[in-house]
Homo-oligomer: A and B are copies of this chain.
Amino acid sequence: MRILIIGAAGMVGRKLTARLVADGHLGGKAISALSLVDVIEPEAPQGFSGELERRAVDIAEPEVAATLVASRPDVIFHLAAIVSGEAEADFDKGYRINLDGTRYLFDAIRAASENGAYFPRVVFTSSIAVFGAPFPEVIPDEFFTTPLTSYGTQKAIGELLLSDYSRRGFFDGIGIRLPTICIRPGKPNKAASGFFSNILREPLVGQEAVLPVSEDVRHWHASPRAAVGFLVHAATMDLGALGWRRSVTMPGLAATVGEQIEALRRVAGEKAVKLIRREPDPVIVKIVAGWPTAFDARRAAALGFKAESSFDEIIRVHIEDELGGQL
Residues of B close to A142: CB separation below 8 A: 143-144
The residue on B at minimum CB distance from A142 is B144
B150 x A156 contact (CB < 8 A) = no
23 cross-chain CB contacts under 8 A:
A91-B168, A132-B244, A132-B245, A142-B143, A142-B144, A143-B144, A144-B144, A144-B145, A145-B145, A145-B160, A146-B245, A147-B160, A147-B164, A148-B167, A148-B244, A150-B164, A153-B161, A153-B163, A153-B164, A157-B157, A157-B160, A157-B161, A160-B160
Q: Give the shortest distance, in Å, between A94 (CB) and chain B (any CB).
A: 10
A146 x B163 contact (CB < 8 A) = yes
Residues of B close to A167: CB separation below 8 A: 148
Query: Which residues of A from 162 to 187 have beta carbons under 8 Å from B?
Result: 163-164, 167-168
**Additional 18 contacts, C-beta under 8 A, given A144-B145, A147-B163:** A91-B168, A132-B245, A142-B143, A142-B144, A143-B144, A144-B144, A146-B163, A146-B244, A148-B167, A150-B164, A150-B168, A153-B160, A153-B163, A156-B160, A157-B157, A157-B160, A157-B161, A160-B160
The residue on B at minimum CB distance from A136 is B142
For chain A, give the interface size range. Answer: 20 to 34
The residue on B at minimum CB distance from A247 is B146
Residues of B close to A160: CB separation below 8 A: 145, 147, 153, 156-157, 160
Copies in the complex: 2
Query: Which residues of A from 124 to 167 have beta carbons under 8 Å from B?
Result: 132, 142-148, 150, 153, 156-157, 160-161, 163-164, 167
Report Cα–Cα, A196/B145, bound state, in Å. 31
The residue on B at minimum CB distance from A145 is B144
Report Cα–Cα, A142/B144, bound state, in Å. 5
Residues of B close to A168: CB separation below 8 A: 91, 150
Residues of B close to A156: CB separation below 8 A: 160
Q: Give the shortest distance, in Å, between A168 (CB) and chain B (any CB).
A: 7
Report Cα–Cα, A244/B144, bound state, in Å. 13
Residues of B close to A145: CB separation below 8 A: 144-145, 160
The residue on B at minimum CB distance from A146 is B245
Query: Which residues of A from 104 to 142 have beta carbons under 8 Å from B?
Result: 132, 142
Q: Give the shortest distance, in Å, between A96 (CB) and chain B (any CB).
A: 12
Report Cα–Cα, A232/B164, bound state, in Å. 32
Residues of B close to A157: CB separation below 8 A: 157, 160-161
Report Cα–Cα, A291/B160, bound state, in Å. 18
Report Cα–Cα, A245/B148, bound state, in Å. 9
Report Cα–Cα, A132/B164, bound state, in Å. 12
Report Cα–Cα, A132/B161, bound state, in Å. 14
